[in-house]
A and B are shown apart, each in its own frame.
Chain A
């Protein structure tokens, strides 16, 4: 895969998203201004319903903003972005290898080259032996690893990850987090990673964006000063880690409580 390349750079300016719902207009996102540096690992946390998934879907091209602009500079990358969803979203009727190669097939990559790239991606996530299995024959962790391989194999400038490990058990999550960080450190891609876990945001990211409850605004952006490569287990036991976690929780708590009272009033 890529050597010292830097991933896509993103510039979001005055982004706004409104939904038309049954009762009227719902403001999901307002005043989103955000620059993501090439090769950065950016985490976004926020209370549920803060529009963080909507933001990611807009970046992925699965949804469109009401107003505002997004500039993604992914020059030098064959694919601008690839998304990893909360549930793996593997097609149950395709083998693991076919699933992983899906983004190559759709883009007309020649079969021999595609096969080689799929092999490499499967090796990267340790699923070579399971290439001919169907998704229902895999564990949840293996399915999510397949989904990550499917994203990496297209060689995107930017990975968009929507709580990719939320449905996994704690042990599997730790292992996959470490794998993700390792792969990211090797490939230099930009990652935008949504999570509801402060721990996860601090372990993985260079910066953490805290969003407000509905409508989603950026409340604060916190630099995560821990150097790479990271040892996630050691890091999570460090005193600075705990202090930073508490800081972010104070910011987030306010928003979670506000979301709750608003829900009760509704």
Chain B
């Protein structure tokens, strides 16, 4: 069973995506801010991270940077799931090493899971 770490500060959205993931047979870990996100990547060993960008404390870009700077973590695939969606942000995220960048409002949880499956293949 694959484990997905969800880093998302909005409770409603976090619950919706976690429930859907659990329903589709994934093991789910959650983090509510950037700090806890980094800790959880280390402690939970997820197979993939769903990373929001706008987070209290350190933001998603910083979390991504920290992951890529750590040789133990840089291989973990990351899908950015954010409502910040200007071309600049998307390019920045992909250049920093994210595997994909999805705008939350444009995808359903089912479609997000399809993207996860594509990355995990």
Bound together = no
**A residues within 8 Å of B by Cβ?**
none
**B residues within 8 Å of A by Cβ?**
none
